[in-house]
Structure 1
Amino acid sequence: MNSIDKIDMGEVTRLTQAGKLAEAMALLQGRPAPRARNDAPEWKAPHRGRSPKRSWPTIDMVAPAGPEGAWTAPSEAEGQPADGTARADQPTGFPDLSETMRAFRDRLATPRAFSGLGEGLGSGRPTSVPVPEGARFEDRTFANAAGSRTYKVFVPSGYTGQALPVVVMLHGCTQNPDDFAAGTRMNDLAEEQTFLVAYPRQPQSANLQKCWNWFNAGDQTRHGGEPSLIAGIATAVVEEFSADPTRVYVAGLSAGGAAAAIMGATYPDLFAAVGVHSGLACGAAKDMPSAFAAMKGGGAVQPRRDEPAVPTIVFHGDGDRTVNPVNGDHVIAQAKSDTTLSETVMRGETPGGVAYTRTVHADGAGRGILEQWVLHGGGHAWSGGSAGGSYTDPRGPDASREMVRFFLTHARARSATQH
């Protein structure tokens, strides 16, 4: 990792103000800024009405004011309450560019700043997760021609060598396996229902904010880049624990959700079902400028490849100001198969006051193949998660439990080479 003092934040700010996002990101990642082509279009930030401020699709969130609060999207409105909720008479949006860059620069200037970026923006999130008696939560490393990644695997106390399902969990930007496990409470479900959970870790050497690089064309293909590493981790867990190869699933949040969608598109022979929370469809972007456009809702739905469709469940808040909720629709559209499916729409509200619409597309046997949860008023956070982790909304429907329910109704057909 390059030292902090080698990053020219003034130049980063100048480039981003000029709309040269790829060059700015290169500097943040410690690489020389590429020379822009003369004919390359510059990304223009939209304006809101008469406001002179820029709309900036930041991936950062605001930490909760108290231990029971939820992470919220930042707002440009003055007088915004500390918990991130908007007053009824004020518009909400993103901070202007100078505020965003100043906050980022300030984080870089603080002690252990890079470590803090990986720990929920230095908010004191847990560095370890409680493990039930008899269970294990251990570190592993996987490597192939594309590089290497560390990961953590949760082994429930009920594991005695039987062929268990495997859930691969892909964290969001700035998160790590412990933070994601704490926030989603997926380990608790694994202990309760006896399945394995793997948490690949994205290092800052691959992306400064620990985002999975879902917007890179080279990380959207089979047998290469990050998809090959994630698939390799899933396969390694199956082999190490003699898990059931027909019941391997993948889920993720935000950048991790986009990566999960990519895994379903590139490895349908490995994953039996996919969960995408606040993410984007495979191929929604090919570089940094198109990534920002897609996050704002400007991405196009890429046709599904020749591979079979993988059953998919989607959660997305319709108040998400970081990744436009239309991206949830795009994930569902891309995952649709040619088979005729019936549609059932259900509406409800959680005890925490979050209203939702749940749409299930089922096959002839009544089994849900596609499931979409729209969280009304929900932001960019894991629904029903624990306040002990970052980017969670404890008030919402329990996305982890609903994903596991959906996953366990699906299994791949066992191939002739599997025993």
Structure 2
Amino acid sequence: MRSLSDTLARLNAMKTSADRAARQTQPSRLAPFPPAGRNEGRLNAKIYVPAGIAAGSALIVALHGCTQDADAFDVGSGWSQLADEQSFVVLYPEQQRANNANLCFNWFNAADTTRGAGEAASIHALIEATIARHNVNRSRIFITGLSAGGAMAASMLACYPDVFAGGAIIAGLAHGVAQSVPEAFDRMRGHGLPSEAQLQALISARSTHQGQWPSVSIWHGDADRTVAVANAGALVAQWRGPHRVPETPTRIERGDRHIRRSWDGANGSVAIEEIVIAGMGHGLPLRGGDAVGRIGPFMLDAGISSTREIARSWGLTKASASRTVVAKSPATSAPIASSPAMPRDAEPVAPAGSAQRPTPSASSPLASSVTNTIESALRAAGLMR
């Protein structure tokens, strides 16, 4: 086992070097943001602050996926580019390999997804430091994440609903659905998801929040073979609880490749929206040719820019031309169920030090080759099918 661990460590180091080489032609737009005070979850961070930004601006907290880092996620998602256009701050909490060998946020670990503890506490502390250093508006703080980052964003919304005005979960999972690596495997495949009542109890058990809950935007591809699209339905079911909205959506909108269902809250604004994109696999939806974001592995041309659309839903941009609304359905229409697609190659995540199956890199063909080598080593050891 030591030999396997040493081999995986060397391969991961090779992959990190490949990732860095792939980004050499794309200088970092981000500045280091050292955590201040206690750092319960031992996270790093980077930040983007546009030149000449005014006090009281909005803050976006962006959580990368497995094998990514802050710079890779920024290049792909384009949040700093949109920040230049619309003048807001972007904070990128960043996982360390000492916490998780594949740089996944530990979304399946209760010690990291509880208010005041672990990685959740570190992300909250980074937000507080950003507020203090850059005078952002406390009422305009939003969080988003991809895959493991999306699952961690869901937990941050559940544990700190008083902090966020809204959140967006891309190819992620509901808060609290897994408490171990085996459970993480199952939930990613769409197996063993809790009932609606259980999903809602996972939030109510963690929070006594009595104020307005953050709006939630849920994005998923119906051909996702890493995190089954059934998880999008679980997120909708979970967040219908605190928002007290019925099963039937307020409206259904159809685009060229996507269906958007939305539920209005008590104040008449959208409380929950779910966007399911036909034929899209595991990744973040972008629109090819857009100046925001970059198409690549796990940054997918889906004909719609999730970055722009999410920012628009938070009131941070003007109406986007990338959004196509064909028709609205009355609230009495039957909801469109998420596709029950099942992943063939679900990627497990685990804390550092445990044998695990790495998530493919989202940066370069060379890094992807290294990932394939890692997977081959795990298969040879009988740790992966």
What's the TM-score, normalizing by structure 2?
0.71
The question of whether the paired residues in 1 share the 8 Å contact of 2:263 and 2:271 is answered with yes
Q: Distance in 2 between matches of 1:126 and 1:271?
A: 34
Report the CA distance shift for 1:364/1:213 in structure 2 as closer, same or farther (over 3 A): closer
The offset of 1:139, in angstroms, is 0.4
Between 1 and 2, higher relative CO (CA 8 Å, sep ≥ 6) is seen in 2
Report the CA distance shift for 1:130/1:227 in structure 2 as closer, same or farther (over 3 A): closer
C-alpha RMSD of matched pairs (Å)? 2.5
Letter aligned with residue 3 of structure 2: D
Match of 2:264 in 1: 362
Match of 1:294 in 2: 187
Report the CA distance shift for 1:344/1:129 in structure 2 as closer, same or farther (over 3 A): farther
The offset of 1:363, in angstroms, is 2.8
Q: Distance in 2 between matches of 1:182 and 1:338?
A: 33
The offset of 1:141, in angstroms, is 1.3
1:169 is paired with a residue whose SS is strand
The question of whether the paired residues in 2 share the 8 Å contact of 1:207 and 1:213 is answered with yes
Match of 1:339 in 2: 244
Q: Distance in 1 between matches of 2:12 and 2:189?
A: 33
Match of 1:326 in 2: 230
The offset of 1:116, in angstroms, is 3.9
Structure 2 residue 16 is matched with structure 1 residue 8: no
Q: Distance in 1 between matches of 2:11 and 2:43?
A: 27
Report the CA distance shift for 1:129/1:312 in structure 2 as closer, same or farther (over 3 A): farther
Report the CA distance shift for 1:113/1:223 in structure 2 as closer, same or farther (over 3 A): same
Of all paired residues, the percent bearing the same amino acid is 31
Q: How far does the alpha carbon of each residue in 1:79-123 deviate from its partner, in whole angstroms, 9 at most, with x for none?
A: xxxxxxxxxxxxxxxxxxxxxxxxxx6x75559425248x3xx78
Task: Select 2:44's aligned residue among 114, 134, 150.
Answer: 150
Task: Select 2:22's aligned residue among 115, 124, 131.
Answer: 124
Letter aligned with residue 38 of structure 2: N
Q: Distance in 1 between matches of 2:215 and 2:312?
A: 13
Structure 2 residue 57 is matched with structure 1 residue 164: yes
The question of whether the paired residues in 2 share the 8 Å contact of 1:261 and 1:280 is answered with yes
The question of whether the paired residues in 2 share the 8 Å contact of 1:129 and 1:182 is answered with no
Task: Report which of the two has the higher share of helix.
Answer: 2
Report the CA distance shift for 1:362/1:226 in structure 2 as closer, same or farther (over 3 A): same
Between Structure 1 and Structure 2, whose CA radius of gyration is higher?
A: 1
Task: Select 2:14's aligned residue among 89, 110, 113.
Answer: 113
The question of whether the paired residues in 1 share the 8 Å contact of 2:42 and 2:119 is answered with no
Q: How does 1:240-279 map to 2 (within 5 A)?
A: 240-279=133-172
2:124 is paired with a residue whose SS is helix
Match of 2:301 in 1: 394
Q: Distance in 2 between matches of 1:408 and 1:126?
A: 34
Unpaired runs of 5+ residues, structure 1, are: 1-5, 10-27, 31-104, 132-136, 350-354, 410-419
The question of whether the paired residues in 2 share the 8 Å contact of 1:126 and 1:389 is answered with no
Report the CA distance shift for 1:340/1:285 in structure 2 as closer, same or farther (over 3 A): closer
The offset of 1:362, in angstroms, is 1.2
Aligned residue pairs, count: 297
The question of whether the paired residues in 2 share the 8 Å contact of 1:384 and 1:399 is answered with yes
Unpaired runs of 5+ residues, structure 2, are: 288-292, 317-385
Q: Distance in 2 between matches of 1:164 and 1:220?
A: 27
Q: Distance in 1 between matches of 2:137 and 2:12?
A: 45
Match of 2:342 in 1: none
Q: Distance in 1 between matches of 2:11 and 2:128?
A: 39
Q: Distance in 2 between matches of 1:340 and 1:373?
A: 17
What's the TM-score, normalizing by structure 1?
0.66
